[in-house]
Structure 1
Amino acid sequence: MLKRYFILLITLCWLTSHAASPTATDYSYSQCQGSAIPYPVPDMALKAIPDSLTPIFVNHVGRHGARFLSSARYTASLLSYLHKADSLGTITPAGRRLISLCRLVDERTAGHWGALDSLGMAEQRGIASRLYSLAPALFHDKKVNAISSYVPRCIASMDEFTHRLATLDNSIDISTASGRQNSPLLRPWTSDSAYIAYMDGSEWHDVYKRFVDTTAPESVAVKLLGPAYPFSPGEKKEVAMAAYKVIAGCSAMSVDPQADSFLTLPEYNALWSIVNLHHYLTHSASTLSSAPMDMAASLLRDLISTMDSAAVGANPYSVMLRFGHAETLMPLLALMRLPECYYLTDRFDTVGMHWRDFFVVPMAANLQMILLRAKSGKLYVRVDLNEHPVTLIPDRPEIYIPWETAGAYLSRCLPQQSTPHNAS
């Protein structure tokens, strides 16, 4: 009875202090999965193109689909703590349930760490089907080019996507390529010197550490290991973060973790906000540095140049597909200043209110740039984020923008006045 009272007291104290914060978020259990959230299927009615416009080209940049957990790191860490608590006799019923969940994840994922799973395959097939339905004329007797990162889940995503297109229309001429030669576009963080220097620096680490220290709910570890567990300094936060990683990653591999049996919604929000800030500081625009978004410059230049060549009939492909990672898209979307993908502030505790990884890069996240020709011959572009049309130019509400205007805007987004847009 005393143990239950102690746990309740700790939880209430943390909840009271956290609720008092004006920047605390209140997202749902589903949203708190963050970038591990399965892809949200769009309303096809929102994607319809007016009869007055004819699609002539599509650029697509996509993240791999839902996957198994990337490694056994977090289940191994949790099981180490949980087994120790069990041997000491301090473990709680929630802790025993978490042992079962970790074992299930390990069994389900054995030999498949980081691999695309059946849900991820279905996500890619669904996106391919909807793109085909949107503009079937872009595929019939046309050439499609696809490239991917060398990482197997990206290659598998490309394969599922292109295989679905081929089953819809076997007249399509599809070429695919994967490998490290695509890393400058799809994995720029491995070679961009300014980004590497930023990541090696202390400034973003200091901001992140302060946020973890003030935000991570220690009540989670106590609820799992018990109030009598002999915690060392920092272990409560380590246990809470490992629990978040395992629980948040379950739905992507079609496992229901029953998150509410381990975490209250405020605790889940707090843990999500920590991971969300890490994504933001390391792969999006911030007041600390533009290096994380600037590393997407080569990819944006490629998108502009291939749109330009399609505009003048010089691109041999009607559709170009690129398959990478969340870390491929986050910098690109920030560099383009897309709504809710670009946020600058010195108040880093407000990031979770304005920049949300579950919106920016869910599993199978994608950017589609659709080039369209009006009956007058004028060219327009529509930008879709996760298959939802979005505005491109700040303070302009138009969804369909003349390509000449859009291309010039995107060129201005490039760092250091890169190669100018060449619309004709």
Structure 2
Amino acid sequence: MNFRLKRTVFSTILFAASAVHTSSYAQATHEEIFDNIAVTGGVYYAYPAPGVQTKAPEGYEPFYISHFGRHGSRWLISDEEYIRVMEVFEKAHQAGKLTPLGEDVRKRLAIVWADAEGRGGDLSPVGVDQQRGIAERMYQAFPEVFKGAPEMSACATLVIRCVLSMDAFCERLKEFNPQLKIERESSNKYMPYLNFHTQEAMKFTSHKGPWYEEFRKFEKSHVRPERLMNSLFSDKEFVHKRVNPEELMRGLYAIASDMQDVEQEVSFYDIFEKQELFDIWQIHNYKNYVCDGPSPMTNGLMVANAKPTLENIIDAADEAIASGRNSATFRFAHDGN
């Protein structure tokens, strides 16, 4: 957000997201997370209702908004994430190896799949509402920027959930002021700053990176599926021969986490102990910190991925200041940068 006063400018980047990076919660205690177990969803933690909105400083008038937003809430990234879990339960059901709880979970999965099939990675109605809400709060908080018929720009990555997020956001603004001129684009032209990763960074984050072996051991020590498997399956021999307990637990965790991002009133949190969710959350937290955050072991590689984004933000703000007109730049991308 930029404010006018004797050519002095203050800039703030507003982040819109269906979820926030788990690294944001690196210092959270067990108690804080146990109070809201949905937080353990990490990138599937649905964008929470904001608190008090920051007003323009006294004597300043807002004239330009620079916005970088993640897409809204979505279904799991692919249909395969649901299918892998359901196939295990279906095989166990056919073999008569599910406990009453296991059968109940199988039925819940069928309800979820009826809604999710074919929608892997898609923006959900919850995500649409989030984007509309962010746009509405922005308009109401800074009406000066949107007066008259200002020219604004919006761009999104090529991923359809980002394009639809942009559309939901911009349409809500135009509902308040139909005169707004918002040029919307989704193009490879904008990918170098909307979703940029250096070759060095991608090499580092691979399984061959210097961080991975230590992470693998941490991961192994924090996925303990025995209790959960015993509650779902009636035959340990079947589990031993036909089930990958760690993979199934992680799959159920993902589905449980994503329920907050869709409109289905189904929950799987009852099958987990809070500590189990916390432990898996720690795994994702670890990985996000190293692969997308400021971990010292990366020597700045991940932070460097955001340089093109920052340069674009600065350049666009400079242009807005030089023009002397009210305007805004809206960007819709992903959380990695």
Show CA shifts across 1:322-376 (max 9, x none). 0001223xxxxxxxxxxxxxxxxxxxxxxxxxxxxxxxxxxxxxxxxxxxxxxxx
Q: What is the match of residue 253 of structure 1?
A: 262
Tell me the CA shift for residue 314 of structure 1. 3.4
Q: Is residue 2:152 matched to residue 1:144? A: yes
Counterpart of 1:159? 167
Structure 2 Cα separation of the partners of residues 164 and 91 of structure 1: 47
Counterpart of 2:315 (choices 299, 305, 308) is 305
Instruction: Sort the Cα spacing of 1:24 and 1:57 in 2 relative to 1 into closer, same or farther, 3 A.
Output: closer
Change beyond 3 A, Cα 1:256–1:315 = farther
Matched, 1:119 2:123: no
> One-letter code of the match for 2:166?
M
Point out the more displaced range, 76-85 or 62-71: 76-85
Work out which of the residue numbers 299, 319, 330 in structure 2 matches 1:321: 330
Q: Residue 25 of structure 1: CA displacement?
A: 3.3
Q: Identify the residue that residue 114 of structure 2 maps to in structure 1.
A: 107
* 1:209 to 1:316, Cα distance in 2 relative to 1, 3 A: farther
Q: 1:291 to 1:256 in 2, by over 3 A?
A: farther
Bigger shift: residues 228-237 or 162-171: 228-237
What is aligned with 1:419? Answer: none
Alpha-carbon shift at residue 262 of structure 1 (Å): 0.9
* Percent of aligned pairs with the same amino acid: 23
CA–CA separation in structure 1 for the residues paired with 2:267 and 2:324: 49
Q: For structure 2, which runs of at least 5 residues remain unmatched after alignment?
A: 1-27
Q: 1:242 to 1:119 in 2, by over 3 A?
A: same
User: Which of these residues, 131, 135, 140, is aligned with residue 142 of structure 2?
Assistant: 135
| Corresponding residue of 2:282 | 273
Query: Does the Cα contact within 8 Å between 1:145 and 1:317 map onto a contact in 2?
Result: no
Gapped regions of structure 1 (runs ≥ 5) = 1-22, 329-424
Tell me, yes or no, if the aligned pair for 2:153 and 2:329 is still in contact at 8 Å.
Answer: yes
Structure 1 residues 24 and 46 mapped into 2: Cα distance closer, same or farther (>3 Å)? Answer: closer
**Contact 2:79 2:119 survives alignment (8 Å):** no
Tell me if 1:283 matches 2:292. Answer: yes
Q: Name the SS for the 1:58 alignment partner.
A: strand
Displacement of 1:32 after TM fit?
1.5
- 1:325 corresponds to which letter in structure 2? H
Q: CA deviation at 1:268?
A: 1.2
Paired position in structure 1 for 2:229: 221
The change in CA–CA distance for 1:321 and 1:288 in structure 2 (over 3 A counts) is same
- Partners of 1:187 and 1:324 within 8 A in 2: yes
Deviation at 1:315, TM superposition (A): 7.2
Q: Deviations over 1:57-87 (max 9, x none)?
A: 1110000111122212222111222223223
Q: How far is 1:149 from its partner?
A: 0.5
Any idea what the Cα deviations from partners look like across 1:12-57, whole Å, max 9, x if unmatched?
xxxxxxxxxxx983413221122112211113x4333344221121
User: Which residue is equivalent to 2:201?
Assistant: 195
The residue that corresponds to 1:25 in the other structure is: 30
Mean CA deviation greater in 296-305 or 47-56? 47-56
SS of the residue 2:296 aligns to: coil
Asked if 1 retains the 8 angstrom alpha-carbon contact of 2:53 and 2:141, the reply is: no
SS in 2 for 1:113: coil
Query: Contact conserved, 2:63 with 2:325, CA < 8 A, in 1?
Result: no
SS in 2 for 1:288: helix
SS in 2 for 1:322: strand
Q: Deviations over 1:146-176 (max 9, x none)?
A: 0000100100000011111111112211111
Alignment partner of 1:210 out of 192, 202, 217: 217
Structure 1 residue identity aligned to 2:201: Y
Q: 1:294 aligns with which of 304, 307, 310?
A: 304
Provide the C-alpha distance between the structure 2 equivalents of 1:210 and 1:118, rounded to a whole number of angstroms: 38
- Closer/same/farther in 2, CA of residues 74 and 203 from structure 1, 3 Å limit: same
* Aligned AA (1:241): R
Contact 1:222–1:236, Cα closer than 8 Å, also in 2: no
TM-score under structure 2 normalisation? 0.83
Which residue type is aligned with residue 30 of structure 1? A
Q: How does 1:31-42 map to 2 (within 5 A)?
A: 31-42=39-50
Give how far 1:208 is off: 2.1
8 Å Cα contact 1:216-1:271 kept in structure 2: yes
Q: Secondary structure at the match of 2:134?
A: helix
**TM-fit CA distance, 1:221:** 2.7
Which digits, 9 at most, give the CA deviation of each residue in 1:225-253, with x for residues without a partner? 34523325992211110110111111101
Instruction: Report deviation, 1:291.
Output: 1.6
Give the direction of change, closer, same or farther, for the CA distance of 1:322–1:231 in structure 2 (3 Å limit): same
